[in-house]
Homo-oligomer: A and B are copies of this chain.
């Protein structure tokens, strides 16, 4: 009996591991396909093929295509939210924005398809847009605007333009990933390569320094 119990325990553990593996494959495949085709444009069979499983297997993990989409969205959003909360709760330093944008870029580098999901959802005016706005964009804007007001914004960027300035940071970070295929087709290099992402990160840094000259220190200028 105990052996049997052991056996079944071992078997159960193996099965659980296998299930976890399958689930991750499904989520990864979903993220990739949803990012390219959108919710209504993706076919579950395409996801299944990309995940290497049968179409029916998806339904052992998620009750519907929509639920799968929500899971992908949630998985991509959560770390960003956490990061932002950490920054918001932490002490304000002169270059908080630079640091935050750096971390965000780093996260997006690991999930390069997630940006597209957000853009797709925005453009489709989809049902998850309010959630994304509430959980992520609104706090982000609050953080940035808080920084900006407490800092000194250079003359030409008057007060009413500050939201556009905040949005700028989304454009150059998320937008870089969203537009990547177009840029790749235009320039002769892949914006999603390590090199390309690093360069965009440096660009954002330089942009910030040029926009807020008071942030410059000796270390930035070499």
Q: Which residues of B contact A207 (CB under 8 A)?
A: 156-157, 168, 211
Among candidates B133, B154, B178, residue contacting A186 with C-beta atoms closer than 8 Å: B133
Among candidates B120, B129, B137, residue contacting A120 with C-beta atoms closer than 8 Å: B120
Q: How many positions in chain A have a CB within 8 Å of any CB in the partner chain?
A: 61
Using known A-B contacts A168-B207, A186-B138, A207-B168, determine if residue A161 contacts B123 with beta carbons closer than 8 Å.
no
Q: Which residues of B contact A122 (CB under 8 A)?
A: 178-182
Nearest Cβ on chain B to A50's Cβ, whole angstroms: 14
Interchain CA distance A205-B211 in the complex, whole Å: 13
Q: Within 8 Å of chain B (Cβ to Cβ): is A107?
A: no
Asked whether, in the complex, the Cβ of A123 is within 8 Å of the Cβ of B125, the reply is no
Asked whether, in the complex, the Cβ of A161 is within 8 Å of the Cβ of B203, the reply is yes
The dominant DSSP class at the A interface is helix
Q: Which residues of B contact A187 (CB under 8 A)?
A: 141, 163
Most buried by B among A39, A186, A202: A186
Q: Within 8 Å of chain B (Cβ to Cβ): is A210?
A: yes
Asked whether, in the complex, the Cβ of A119 is within 8 Å of the Cβ of B179, the reply is yes
Q: Within 8 Å of chain B (Cβ to Cβ): is A60?
A: no
Asked whether, in the complex, the Cβ of A185 is within 8 Å of the Cβ of B37, the reply is no
Most buried by B among A185, A200, A220: A185
Q: Within 8 Å of chain B (Cβ to Cβ): is A214?
A: no
Interchain residue pairs with CB less than 8 A apart (9): A37-B40, A38-B120, A120-B120, A122-B178, A123-B181, A133-B185, A155-B221, A164-B176, A211-B211
